[in-house]
Structure 1
Amino acid sequence: MFADIVPSLKAAMPELRGKLEANAPTAPLSWFRTGGPAQVLFTPADAEDLAHFLQRLDRAIPVLVVGLGSNLLIRDGGWEGVIIRLGKGFAEVSVEPSLRVRAGAGAPDVKVARAAAEAGIAGLSFLRGIPGAIGGALRMNGGAYGGETKDVLVEAKGVTRTGETVRFTNAQMGFTYRHSGVPDDVIFTEALFEGRSGNPEEILAEMNAITEARSSTQPVNTRTGGSTFKNPPGRKAWELVDAAGCRGLRIGDAQVSEMHCNFLINHGSASAADIEGLGEEVRRRVREMTGVELEWEIKRVGLAKA
């Protein structure tokens, strides 16, 4: 348990509309369903509420932003500082003229893909294959099935650590493979995408094909974090993991998926340490077998349990 700083935060921010919770459990925030407490969990009402909070928050207090938590592992000691969860106030999706779709950073990627499809906007179907929210796609240049965020983004909007609203064009995002060059202290709040004209039935059929492909090749209905490691240049991470004999490897209730060995699974009672330890063991075996140093794609944060 961390020191309760919620009363002092409320006193310093009497006009705050969002929800503040002290020592909140974080397991529900992550698809792995494990992890220690958050000293403070803040769910802002909207972007203005978020800016108001950040303007008045002590700069020394660490901040972590969470959307759907699909590629997040919070360590067992929890997060000392504030976790900001982008909830319903950031989940709006709307179709605009010129084949554009505007989406809040908390909107699920699949919701954006579906809105585009129903409006006859092609080019965003790949979002159906990314198990996360738009904020994560912006931060990591999320991609799947032949498409990436950089291919369709017009601009992104966010809030800095000091509460200032900022905008970034596609070129200013500094996109590379599974990465954007935007400073880490920027919290994305909204994105504007642009596709191309298409037939709704054909686009929906493409999305259904992606759904079937995911279901047949990935452990989608389990406690997992999506792709564990980034693909090294010219290689596929899962092939390296498989070649190192790690398919099905298990530490406690943490296991390398037998269906797709670039996925780690929590079978129920795995700790964050079990999951991270398993990932590190996989990295060690791959390094010894192939000389390749796998890089984590899952974001691991927080304190190790004492």
Structure 2
Amino acid sequence: MPRAPLAATLPPLRGRVQHDVALAPFTWFRVGGPADVLVRPADVDDLLVLLRDMPGAMPLTVLGAASNLLIRDGGIRGVALRLARGFSAIDVEADGIVAGAAALDVTLAETAAASGLAGLEFLVGVPGTVGGAVAMNAGAYGGEIRDVLDWAEVATPDGLVRLSADALAFAYRHATLPARGVVTRARFHAIPGDRAAVTARLAAIRAEREAAQPVRARTGGSTFKNPPGEKAWALIDAAGARGLTLGAAQVSAKHCNFLLNLGGASAADLEALGEDVRARVLAHAGVTLEWEIKRIGEPAP
């Protein structure tokens, strides 16, 4: 369906609706094709109208910070949804924090530390948004979302629902959301603690991450899930793939579970390099690595 007629099938919205939008600038890899339509709802009510009244057969793709995401070069059909200002509030409570889906995980961790709340420090090592973290049960440095989540509010075509951690059926890097469900905000429990101690823990995680990961590169974070009892980076290293390149795509020499865009790589280059790494690990260790980075969209024509 041509882009203009496609957009005309959407309900009237108060937020921003754009056609044929380049998505590469939104992603950490800086690659990927355009979205047919990019929608940024004004607030929860606007989002609920979109989910309720958009055509049921129209594809819907939710974008967070696009930090752990590879958008293919042909782009995304249908609606790409990005939550922004109306979804970024953070409210501190005595024993926890309620954060909007568009709030950054690092901001949530910093707010908790500044408020003397402990238990959310690991989130300073999670690049992304609260909504994305809930949707994939993000984790790092010994913590996971399922360890700290009290509830998440999720917009659906039938309205807004509040789901407990149990209802989300968390698994490793996975949560079970309702069909076309979009996380809008979530509450995380925390423990009142010493502000200086919590801040020091935050600084330690930052320093450890800076030392071990290519945090200033064009990357998508951890590329593959850790197999049971194994570390993906160690399997990749043992298979001889550290520093491997394909065009301008590279397996990081600093941390070989990270793929890098050295400048000018395509999404196809990065994905093909990842598949080469998987093949090498399978041949060397007999282990099939599973992608942790979410790959979406269509290949280039």
Scaled by the length of structure 1, the TM-score of the pair is 0.96
Q: In structure 2, what residue type is equivalent to 1:4? A: A
Report the alpha carbon displacement of residue 163 of structure 1 after superposing the two structures with TM: 4.7
Q: 2: CA distance between counterparts of 1:257 and 1:7?
A: 40
CA distance in 1, matches of 2:71, 2:116: 39
Structure 2 residue 46 is matched with structure 1 residue 49? yes
- Structure 1 CA distance, aligned partners of 2:194 and 2:7? 54
Q: Deviations over 1:81-138 (max 9, x none)?
A: 10000111111111023x1100011110000001111111100000000011111110
| 2:275 alignment partner, one of 260, 276, 280 | 280
Q: Which residue identity is paired with 1:60? A: A
Per-residue deviation, 1:7: 5.2
CA contact (8 A) 2:117 2:195 kept: yes
Task: Read off the aligned partner of 2:297 and give its amino acid letter.
Answer: G
SS at match of 2:222: coil
Q: Superposition pairs for residues 38-117 of structure 1, below 5 Å? A: 38-97=35-94, 99-117=95-113
- Is 1:171 the counterpart of 2:166? The answer is yes
CA contact (8 A) 2:7 2:37 kept: no
User: What is the RMSD computed on CA atoms of the aligned residues?
Assistant: 1.3
CA contact (8 A) 2:138 2:145 kept: yes
Which one-letter code corresponds to 1:242 in the other structure?
A: D
Of 15, 28, 45, the residue aligned with 1:18 is: 15
**AA partner of residue 266 (structure 1):** N
Letter in 2 for 1:3: R
- Determine helix, strand or coil for the equivalent of 1:281: helix
Count of residues in Structure 1 that have an aligned counterpart in Structure 2: 301
Report the Cα distance in structure 2 between the residues aligned to 1:2 and 1:273, rounded to whole angstroms. 25
> What SS does the corresponding residue of 1:276 show, helix, strand or coil?
helix
1:29–1:66 CA contact under 8 A, matched in 2: no
- 1:300 aligns to 2:295 (yes or no): yes
Contact 2:7 2:19 in 1 (8 A): no
1: CA distance between counterparts of 2:179 and 2:262? 32
1:123 paired with 2:119, answer yes
Matched position secondary structure for 2:78: strand
Q: Which runs of 5+ in 1 are unaligned?
A: none
SS of match in other structure, 1:172: coil
SS at match of 2:279: helix
Preserved contact between residue 255 and residue 266 of structure 1 (Cα < 8 Å)? yes
**Aligned partner of 1:268: which letter?**
G
**AA partner of residue 125 (structure 1):** E
The Cα of 1:4 is off from its aligned counterpart by: 2.3
Partner of 1:246: 241
Counterparts in 2 of 1:188 and 1:280: CA distance versus 1, 3 Å: same
Preserved contact between residue 35 and residue 75 of structure 1 (Cα < 8 Å): yes
CA distance in 2, matches of 1:228, 1:285: 15
Q: Determine if contact 1:50/1:163 at 8 Å carries over to the other structure.
A: no
- Please report how far the alpha carbon of residue 77 of structure 1 lies from its aligned counterpart in structure 2 after TM superposition: 0.5
SS of residue matched to 2:4 = coil
Displacement of 1:55 in angstroms is 1.2
Deviation at 1:5? Answer: 3.3
Determine which of 205, 211, 235 is the counterpart of 1:210. 205
* Cα distance change, pair 230–7 in 1 and its aligned pair in 2 (3 A): closer
Quick one: structure 1 residues 2 and 260, their matched pair in 2 at CA, closer, same or farther if it must change by over 3 Å? farther
- Aligned to 2:167, the other structure's residue is in SS state helix
Distance 2:222 2:239 in 1: 17
Please, what TM-score do these two structures have when normalized by structure 2?
0.97
